[in-house]
């Protein structure tokens, strides 16, 4: 066809070209059609990258068609009025631009957070489905291919780096935390690429939002364990702290907590003291975890005096 | 210290049987729990030093000291509560106070070994360890114990004296009536 990938509205093309006869039965077709329309709804109506005017007539028509498709499949034949209206609305909505100037990229899947969900799903294909703790040998080729979606999904390198770190971390958690290499790889990604990207001055709002929520999630997960390490780690897996702790520390560092200003020794002189916090955080983890471990063994005593 | 302990034990043996009130039974349970707790705290400290500190040390040079100080504070809070409830010295309370002293020594040792090589030689962190001062608690309780005994002896003496007097009077009265 010779068209550039970023100008193809995939769900619309699929709706146009796949016929009900190609499915096992009408119900299967209906479900499939609903899914395509749901994607269009998510990308164009619910999470458009360019804010939508409430009175936009294309949006209203698209909404009606999607609503109608709930009860029975819409006719996607060549001569169908509904299909003509659908194409018209989808194309018009996709080719909008922020300031009215013509654009060479269509926007149907680059709105946040739909784009991130799609991109993360794509990135998950780097894992071997026979052993999900393994990254495929062809990871570099795969990532090169995945990068071709950047313009369609509105992804750039910082977002890619962040999502890549997230996918590694998520895979570690999803695969029951049996492969510490995944955690190690997450940390490697965070402490180098992501840490550098996060420092850049011209970060976009979406990136900052994504960065803080992903990092806070990782940090929270890691700290839930570190603040209870006596409980979470038994003799055999204590070494996991070695991978988990750096992750928590880099996440905190990027989140902007790397230097804490304390009013300690310098208080009298009226100035503040800057303390390197990774040591302080570890201090905090030890105290919290030891206190909890003590509370656990002293329960019988507390009951006696209650 | 050990002489004092033997002395207290002896005194306690003399008194056996006279203290079977319910409040004492609760106290005994508390003593039992505190002795057990001291053992648990020592185990926690050992686990910390052997399993966790070698790993955590990479990020903070005095991790074992931090754990020792925290455990010292945790046990200290419970001990304080216990000491506040002691009315008299007995076998159990002395045992608890002695174990607390031993635990304290162990934790101080752990801190000293761990922080010897750090910048200030552990001077800052050791300040967080407020001594249990079990010896002075024992001394105080002993003093109190002696005072109580003395009071009781005085009481007995005066009662004996009184009864002797009244006995004499009674005797005189009887003699008179005969």
pLDDT (0 to 100) of residue A205? 87
Q: 3-state SS string over B41-55?
A: HHHHHHHHHHHHHHH
Q: What is the pLDDT of residues A235-251, one digit of tens each?
A: 788 889 998 999 999 99
What CA–CA distance (Å, rounded) separates B134 from A151? 73
CA distance B110 to chain A (A): 15
Structural domain containing residue A173:
114-253
Verify that A245 and A120 share a domain, yes or no: yes
Residue carrying structure tokens 């499949």: A73
Verify that A202 and A240 share a domain, yes or no: yes
The vertex-A51 CA angle with A49 and A57, nearest 5°, equals 115
Partner-chain contact A304 B29, CB within 8 Å = yes
Name the residue with higher pLDDT: B174 or B52. B52
Structure tokens at B75: 């046990």
SS3 for A160? helix
pLDDT (0 to 100) of residue B6? 43
pLDDT (0 to 100) of residue B178? 59
What CA–CA distance (Å, rounded) separates B65 from B108? 9
Verify that A121 and A228 share a domain, yes or no: yes
Task: Say if A207 falls within a structural domain.
Answer: yes
What CA–CA distance (Å, rounded) separates A161 from A146? 13
Verify that A84 and A48 share a domain, yes or no: yes
Task: Say if A108 falls within a structural domain.
Answer: no
pLDDT (0 to 100) of residue B170? 75
pLDDT (0 to 100) of residue B50? 93
What CA–CA distance (Å, rounded) separates B134 from B96? 9
- Using a CB-CB distance cutoff of 8 angstroms, which residues of chain B are in contact with residue A285? 56
pLDDT (0 to 100) of residue A303? 67
Q: What is the pLDDT of residues B118-141, one digit of tens each?
A: 778 788 888 999 999 999 999 998
Q: Which of A15-29, A46-60, B34-48, B151-165 comes out lowest in average pLDDT?
A: B151-165
Q: What is the pLDDT of residues A127-157, one digit of tens each?
A: 999 999 999 999 999 999 999 999 999 999 9
Q: What is the pLDDT of residues A65-97, one digit of tens each?
A: 999 999 999 999 888 999 999 999 999 999 998
Partner-chain contact B41 A229, CB within 8 Å = no
Q: Which of A8-17, A139-148, B25-34, B63-72 comes out lowest in average pLDDT?
A: B25-34
Task: Say if A266 falls within a structural domain.
Answer: no
Structure tokens at B35: 């002795």
Partner-chain contact A305 B67, CB within 8 Å = no
pLDDT-derived band at B23 (thresholds 50, 70, 90) equals: low
Q: What is the pLDDT of residues A98-131, one digit of tens each?
A: 887 878 888 999 999 999 999 999 999 999 999 9
Q: Which helix (H) or strand (E) holds B137?
A: helix B134-177
Phi, psi at residue B76, to the nearest 5°?
Answer: -60, -40
Dihedral of CA B49/B51/B52/B57: which sign?
Answer: positive
pLDDT (0 to 100) of residue B27? 61
What CA–CA distance (Å, rounded) separates B64 from A218? 27
H runs (alpha helix) in A41-100: 57-68, 81-94
Task: Say if A197 falls within a structural domain.
Answer: yes
Alpha carbon distances (Å) from B43 to A52, A143, B103? 63, 50, 11
**Whether pLDDT at B15 is above 70:** no
- Using a CB-CB distance cutoff of 8 angstroms, which residues of chain A are in contact with residue B78? 298, 301
- Asked if A67 has any chain B CB less than 8 Å from its own CB, the reply is no
Cα-Cα-Cα-Cα dihedral of A48, A54, A58, A64, to 10°?
A: 100
CA distance B56 to chain A (A): 7
Task: Say if A17 falls within a structural domain.
Answer: yes
- Residues of B engaging A, defined by a Cβ cutoff of 8 Å: 26, 29-30, 33-34, 36-37, 40-41, 44, 47-48, 51-52, 55-56, 58-61, 63, 66-67, 70-71, 74-75, 78, 81
Beta-carbon contacts of A135 under 8 Å, excluding residues fewer than 6 positions away, are A126, A127, A128, A185
Task: Say if A218 falls within a structural domain.
Answer: yes
Task: Say if A145 falls within a structural domain.
Answer: yes
Verify that A39 and A84 share a domain, yes or no: yes
Asked whether the beta carbons of B65 and B122 are under 8 A apart, the reply is yes
Q: Which residues on neighbouring strands pair with residue A135, listed in sequence order?
A: A127
What CA–CA distance (Å, rounded) separates A150 from A5? 10
- Asked if A147 has any chain B CB less than 8 Å from its own CB, the reply is no
Verify that A85 and A179 share a domain, yes or no: no
Partner-chain contact B55 A291, CB within 8 Å = no
Using the 3D structure, point to which of A36, A63, A94 is the last residue of a domain: A94
Verify that A88 and A138 share a domain, yes or no: no
Verify that A137 and A246 share a domain, yes or no: yes
Verify that A79 and A26 share a domain, yes or no: yes
Give me the residue from A238, A278, A300 closest to B59, CB to CB. Answer: A278
- A interface test, pick of B74, B114, B124 with most A CB neighbours within 10 Å: B74
Verify that A81 and A122 share a domain, yes or no: no
CA distance B98 to chain A (A): 18
**Nearest chain A alpha carbon to B37:** A298
**Whether pLDDT at B16 is above 50:** no
Domains of chain A: total: 2
pLDDT-derived band at A217 (thresholds 50, 70, 90) equals: very high
- E strand spans, B110-163: none
**Whether pLDDT at A299 is above 70:** yes
Task: Say if A191 falls within a structural domain.
Answer: yes
Name the residue with higher pLDDT: A52 or B29. A52
Q: What is the pLDDT of residues A4-47, one digit of tens each?
A: 777 899 999 999 999 999 999 999 999 999 999 999 999 999 99
pLDDT (0 to 100) of residue A54? 86
Question: Can you tell me the ipTM of this complex?
Answer: 0.75
Q: Which of A45-59, A226-240, A279-293, B20-34 comes out lowest in average pLDDT?
A: B20-34
Cβ within 8 Å of B, A 170-229:
229
What CA–CA distance (Å, rounded) separates A68 from A83? 12
**Whether pLDDT at B18 is above 80:** no
Verify that A133 and A12 share a domain, yes or no: no
What CA–CA distance (Å, rounded) separates A75 from A210? 39
- B interface test, pick of A232, A258, A304 with most B CB neighbours within 10 Å: A304
pLDDT (0 to 100) of residue B17? 39
SS3 for A61? helix
Q: Within 13 Å, how many C-alpha atoms sit on residue A275's CB side?
A: 16
Verify that A140 and A241 share a domain, yes or no: yes
């Amino acid at each position: 066809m010779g068209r550039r990938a970023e100008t193809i509205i995939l769900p619309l093309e699929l709706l146009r070209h796949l016929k009900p006869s190609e499915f096992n039965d009408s119900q299967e077709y209906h479900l499939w059609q609903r899914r395509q329309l749901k994607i269009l709804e998510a990308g164009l109506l619910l999470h458009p990258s360019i804010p939508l005017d409430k009175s936009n007539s294309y949006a209203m028509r698209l909404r009606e068609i999607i609503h109608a498709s709930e009860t029975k499949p819409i006719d996607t034949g060549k001569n169908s009025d509904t299909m003509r209206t659908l194409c018209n609305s989808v194309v018009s909505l996709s080719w909008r631009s922020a300031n009215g100037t013509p654009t060479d990229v269509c926007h149907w899947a680059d709105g946040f957070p739909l784009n991130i969900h799609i991109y993360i799903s794509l990135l998950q294909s780097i894992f071997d489905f026979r052993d999900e703790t393994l990254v495929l040998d062809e990871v570099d080729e795969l990532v090169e291919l995945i990068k071709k979606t950047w313009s369609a999904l509105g992804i750039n390198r910082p977002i890619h780096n962040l999502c890549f770190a997230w996918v590694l971390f998520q895979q570690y958690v999803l695969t029951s935390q049996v492969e510490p290499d995944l955690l190690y790889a997450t940390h490697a990604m965070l402490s180098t690429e992501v840490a550098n990207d996060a420092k850049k001055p011209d970060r976009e709002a979406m990136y900052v939002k994504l960065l803080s929520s992903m990092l806070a999630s990782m940090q929270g997960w890691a700290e839930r364990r570190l603040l209870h390490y006596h409980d979470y780690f038994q003799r055999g897996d204590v070494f996991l702290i070695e991978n988990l702790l750096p992750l928590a520390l880099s996440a905190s560092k990027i989140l902007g907590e790397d230097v804490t200003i304390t009013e300690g020794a310098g208080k009298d002189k009226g100035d503040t003291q800057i303390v390197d916090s990774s040591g302080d955080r570890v201090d905090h983890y030890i105290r919290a975890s030891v206190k909890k471990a003590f509370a656990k063994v002293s329960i019988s005593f507390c009951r006696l005096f209650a | 210290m050990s002489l004092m302990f033997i002395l207290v034990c002896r005194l306690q043996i003399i008194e056996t049987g006279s203290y079977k009130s319910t409040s004492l039974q609760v106290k005994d349970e508390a003593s039992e729990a505190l002795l057990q707790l001291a053992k648990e705290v020592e185990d926690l400290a050992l686990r910390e030093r052997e399993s966790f500190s070698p790993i955590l040390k990479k990020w903070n040079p005095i991790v074992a000291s931090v754990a020792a100080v925290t455990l010292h504070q945790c046990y200290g809070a419970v001990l304080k509560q216990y000491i506040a409830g002691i009315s008299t010295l007995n076998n159990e309370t002395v045992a608890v106070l002695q174990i607390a002293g031993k635990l304290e020594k162990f934790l101080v040792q752990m801190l000293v070994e761990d922080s010897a090589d750090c910048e200030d030689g552990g001077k800052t962190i050791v300040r967080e360890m407020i001594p249990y001062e079990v010896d002075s608690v024992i001394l105080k309780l002993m003093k109190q114990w002696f005072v109580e005994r003395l009071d009781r002896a005085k009481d007995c003496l005066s009662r004996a004296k009184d009864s002797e007097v009244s006995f004499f009077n009674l005797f005189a009265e009887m003699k008179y009536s005969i």
